[in-house]
Amino acid sequence: MNVPQMFGENVFNDAVQKETLPKEVYRALRATIESGKQLDVSIAGSVAAAMKDWAVSKGATHYTHWFQPLTGLTAEKHDSFIEPDGDKVIMSLTGKSLIVGESDASSFPSGGSRATFMARGYTAWDPTSPAFVKEGTLYIPTVFVSYTGETLDKKAPLLRSMTAIDKQAKRILKLFGIDCKKVSTTVGPEQEYFLISEEMYERRKDLRLCGRTLIGAPVSRGQELEDHYYGVLRPKVAEFMADLDRELWSYGVPSKTKHNEVAPAQHEMAPVFSTTNTAVDMNMLTMEIMRKVARRHGLICLLHEKPFRGINGSGKHNNWSMSTDTGLNLLDPGPSPESNTLFMLVLAAVIKAVDDYQGILRASVASAANDHRLGANEAPPAIISVYLGDHLGAIVDSIVNGENYVPVEAPEVSIGVPESPIFPKDATDRNRTSPFAFTGNKFEFRMLGSQANVADPNIVLNTIIADAFEQFADELEGSKDVVKSATAVIERELKEHYRIIFNLDGYGPDWEPEAMRRGLLNNKNTADAVPVCFEDKNIGVFVRQGVYTKAEAIARANIQLENYTKIINIEALTLLEMAKQDIIPAVSDYVADLCTNVAAKQAVNDSIPCTTERDLIMKLSEGNDRLSALIFRLEDILSGIDMNEVVPASQAMAHKVIPVMEEMRTVIDGMEKITSSEYWPYPTYFDILYSVK
Ligand code: ADP
Ligand code: MG
């Protein structure tokens, strides 16, 4: 395989654009992509024709406006290129069809922001993300807006947030004499996932309907031996990964790293980072391709945040930074950050933003599925804090304490073998327990869930940091001595937001009470985390930065709660069905068999011991009765919930429904452990987690 040759072969990328477009059209398009110049619509016809010819040469017969509605998935509707020409057809794509498409918006979530009689929605071409050909269709990345211009997707606000941070970051850079055309945010999302056998998956209703197991006793061998992380890839998994890489590369996704993760059957793929906008699109495509390629190998790729209890869940670490078109990374501290005022000011802005808006940052990653990863029983707390590492941490401490910072030479590491090189110790050690960690020249936001759209937290990050930049720029623009004034701002802000910095073990038992003392938020589930989005302060920042109108901000929070409520409802109904149709009957059959055995033994001789059978009969009969009682209780609670009232409904799901589901699970898992495997109606954790060779 010639990787450089096949990389991006399905993408209408810069090289193809250069080759196929007239010079002036190419230049105008690149100006829009690279420096954010408004698109010159007169070039659309020419771009559309070139795109179509290229796509047809790749075997495409259709095109689609590809968008990311608030369902969290991608959406597509395919139109063919055919245009009648006498009794024949020609293949055509007009400029207008490239730029705008019409779509019925009423079947997508809108959070009440759009009355159904105004159901018209438009998809509009996003030229900053390249089009590609997949399975005979030209995919054109678009944004999705309503008839009245309200955003109905995740891309439009993402692009708006990128515009906001570009504008404000350039003001900050200008203070330090740096001129550039564009500041872009960059993201490298590390994607975690599970691979299980298709056969086991098909036999689990919960996996098929909910993407996770609702029941399942823990397996005797979980991840305690710590032997899966970076372990040798099993052959079937290695084949899947090789196939996945090939496919991702053909779509220009720079898949770089692949390895086994901590839990059995868990893996990770990390791409090289790119501009946020393309990183988002590529991650959506990556998730889709992962699922598809897995099927080809008789496997199922589970992207759910917590498919199995008792072992690690899956996240999507969001590595985030900002850089100029000239290649300057704003989060690069350089060799001596203590005297790098620009860097320290940028750092102070990030710390301030994360502290001021910890609520919406937390809410941006809240979902029914991710609740199992944050704040739950076996998960780290859902508290946002910032980790800076030894080096930066010491600098910030010295500023806050008004002390002089004495740089310490990074010691060298020698492994004690003369043949091996000596290397300097890395100044930023890896703290794996921080939700928001500085890692050398970027921040890694680790709360994002594995199946989430990467746009969600990045819309918030870009917006809140743009807002902090704006405040700093407003304050500093008139200053005669920028370095001196900026130093004062840095000191003031670091002191004010010092509480958000935490450099120790975020999983340790001391952190939660300590965070409470500091007054940090700790919203453990979606129902409790999302309502902060209705607060004036949190709406205000989106409105100020031109990312959401007030109505859009409210609509989005409503949709998030609605989605949460629906998912818990589906899970509850699935669990009820499994319990009533499969588990109770199976256990009852087993009990009946045990009773027959007891009777048979007694018939032979009533002194034959039957203690084991009697004990099982008793326990399982009690278990089934307890389960029946819980079924009644859950059905009763569910029937009392008005799904249209999203706030109370979500509260009821979190605080009434989930606890009963938990109780049901405890009973069921207890019965699983003592029921003959011949009778148990579902594959067990052992069957599922250890089935792929
Ligand atoms: P680790 O597992 O140690 O966190 P990985 O190598 O798995 O590290 O992932 C690091 C991710 O961060 C990669 O996707 C990488 O491309 C990305 N990254 C590196 N530099 C930047 C940057 N400036 N902006 C955004 N992401 C970055
Ligand atoms: Mg990693």
Q: Is 274 in the pocket of ligand 1 (CB under 6 A)?
A: no
- Is 559 part of any domain? no
Candidate from 192, 258, 319, 432 with most ligand 1 atoms within 8 A of CB, to mutate: 319
User: Which H or E element spans position 596?
Assistant: helix 584-604
Distance from the alpha carbon of residue 318 to the mean position of ligand 2, in angstroms: 10
**Ligand 1: residue whose CA is nearest its atom 2:** 190
| Ranges under pLDDT 70 in the chain | 112-119, 378, 410, 423-430
> Quick one: which ligand is closest to 267's CA?
2
Distance from the alpha carbon of residue 353 to the mean position of ligand 1, in angstroms: 22
Q: Is the domain of 482 the same as that of 337?
A: yes
Q: Is 186 in the pocket of ligand 1 (CB under 6 A)?
A: yes
Q: Is the domain of 483 the same as that of 461?
A: yes
Q: Is the domain of 145 the same as that of 163?
A: no
438 near 392, Cβ under 8 Å?
A: yes
8 near 132, Cβ under 8 Å?
A: no
Strand partners, 186: 275, 321
111 near 556, Cβ under 8 Å?
A: yes
Distance from the alpha carbon of residue 424 to the mean position of ligand 1, in angstroms: 20
Q: Encoding tokens for residue 179?
A: 């001129």
Distance from the alpha carbon of residue 435 to the mean position of ligand 2, in angstroms: 13
**Which pLDDT score, from 0 to 100, does residue 424 have?**
65
Q: Is 134 in the pocket of ligand 1 (CB under 6 A)?
A: no
> Quick one: which ligand is closest to 441's CA?
1
Q: What is the DSSP letter of 619?
A: H
Q: Encoding tokens for residue 146?
A: 């309503």
389 near 502, Cβ under 8 Å?
A: no
**Which pLDDT score, from 0 to 100, does residue 116 have?**
47
Q: Is the domain of 505 the same as that of 519?
A: yes
* DSSP letters for 20-36: HS-HHHHHHHHHHHHH-
- Is 535 part of any domain? yes
Distance from the alpha carbon of residue 411 to the mean position of ligand 2, in angstroms: 25
- Closest atom of ligand 1 relative to the 317 alpha carbon: 4
**Ligand 1: residue whose CA is nearest its atom 1:** 190
**Which pLDDT score, from 0 to 100, does residue 231 have?**
83
170 near 254, Cβ under 8 Å?
A: no
Distance from the alpha carbon of residue 337 to the mean position of ligand 1, in angstroms: 21
658 near 681, Cβ under 8 Å?
A: no
Distance from the alpha carbon of residue 319 to the mean position of ligand 1, in angstroms: 6
Q: What is the pLDDT of residues 566-613, one digit of tens each?
A: 999 999 999 999 999 999 999 999 999 999 999 999 999 999 999 999
Q: Is the domain of 142 the same as that of 119?
A: yes
- Is 420 part of any domain? no
Q: Is the domain of 202 the same as that of 298?
A: yes
**Ligand 1: residue whose CA is nearest its atom 7:** 270
- Is 183 part of any domain? yes
Last residue of a domain, one of 314, 339, 363: 314
Distance from the alpha carbon of residue 256 to the mean position of ligand 1, in angstroms: 10
**Which pLDDT score, from 0 to 100, does residue 262 have?**
84
Q: Is the domain of 34 the same as that of 164?
A: no
Candidate from 185, 273, 331, 434 with most ligand 1 atoms within 8 A of CB, to mutate: 273
**Ligand 1: residue whose CA is nearest its atom 14:** 188
Distance from the alpha carbon of residue 66 to the mean position of ligand 2, in angstroms: 29
Distance from the alpha carbon of residue 150 to the mean position of ligand 1, in angstroms: 34
* DSSP letters for 237-304: HHHHHHHHHHHHHHTT--EEEEEE-SSTTEEEEEEPPEEHHHHHHHHHHHHHHHHHHHHHTTEEEE--
> Quick one: which ligand is closest to 189's CA?
1
Ligand 2 ion: nearby residues, β-carbon < 5 Å = 190
> Quick one: which ligand is closest to 454's CA?
1
Q: Is 253 in the pocket of ligand 1 (CB under 6 A)?
A: no
Q: Is the domain of 597 the same as that of 456?
A: no
Distance from the alpha carbon of residue 130 to the mean position of ligand 1, in angstroms: 22
Please state the pTM of the whole predicted model.
0.95
Last residue of a domain, one of 130, 152, 174: 152
- Is 43 part of any domain? yes
Q: Is 270 in the pocket of ligand 1 (CB under 6 A)?
A: yes
Angle between helices 23-35 and 44-57 (to 10 degrees): 100
Q: Is the domain of 310 the same as that of 393?
A: no
- Closest atom of ligand 1 relative to the 321 alpha carbon: 24
For residue 389, give the nearest of 341, 345, 347, 339 by alpha carbon. 347
- Is 553 part of any domain? no
Last residue of a domain, one of 548, 572, 604: 548
Instruction: Determine the structural domain holding residue 231 and report its residue range.
Output: 191-214+225-314
472 near 356, Cβ under 8 Å?
A: no
375: left (phi over 0), alpha (psi -120 to 50) or beta: left
Q: Is 329 in the pocket of ligand 1 (CB under 6 A)?
A: yes
Q: Is the domain of 535 the same as that of 437?
A: yes
Q: Is the domain of 34 the same as that of 172?
A: no
Q: Is the domain of 208 the same as that of 164?
A: no
- Closest atom of ligand 1 relative to the 430 alpha carbon: 3
- Is 168 part of any domain? yes
Residue 274 is part of a domain; what is its CATH number?
Answer: 3.30.590.10
233 near 250, Cβ under 8 Å?
A: no
Q: Is 273 in the pocket of ligand 1 (CB under 6 A)?
A: yes
Q: Is 190 in the pocket of ligand 1 (CB under 6 A)?
A: yes
189 near 317, Cβ under 8 Å?
A: yes
> Quick one: which ligand is closest to 444's CA?
1
Our count of domains for the chain comes to 4
Distance from the alpha carbon of residue 459 to the mean position of ligand 1, in angstroms: 19
- Is 422 part of any domain? no
Residue 683 is part of a domain; what is its CATH number?
Answer: 1.20.120.1560
